[in-house]
Amino acid sequence: MTFLDVLEAMCEHQNYDYIIFDGNKNFEARIDTNPMIDIQAQDRAYCIGQTKLVVVYRFIVRNTIDGHISREESIRFD
C-alpha cells in the first residue's frame, strides 16, 4: 500500500472529490503545467456564496519532473 492509496482511502471515506495524477498517467492526462491555469482552477473551486471552507492540496514529490516544475514556478512567482 502506497501513501497515495492511503490518501485515496481517506478521500473516499470522507466523500471528498479528488483526482490522482501518478506515474501511470500518459502525457495528455497530466495536469497542465501552466501555473496560471492551476491558480484559476483553484479559484474555481470556491463559489460565490460558499459557506464551507475550500482547501486545495497539491502534493509534489521531490526529484521528479513535477517537483522540478513546481520549484521553477515558485521561483517565478516569489
Cell triple for residue 69? Answer: 516544475
* Residue 29 DSSP SS3: helix
Which letter, b or e, does each residue of 11-49 get, where b requires 16 or more Cβ atoms within 10 Å of its Cβ? eeeeeeeeeeeeeeeeeeeeeeeeeeebeeeeeeeeeee
The model carries a pTM of 0.45
Q: Sketch the domain layout of the chain as residue ranges.
A: 1-30, 34-78
Residues 6 or more apart from 37 whose CB is under 8 A from it?
none
Tens of pLDDT, residue by residue over 24-76, are 766 666 656 667 777 787 787 777 777 888 887 877 777 887 788 778 877 77
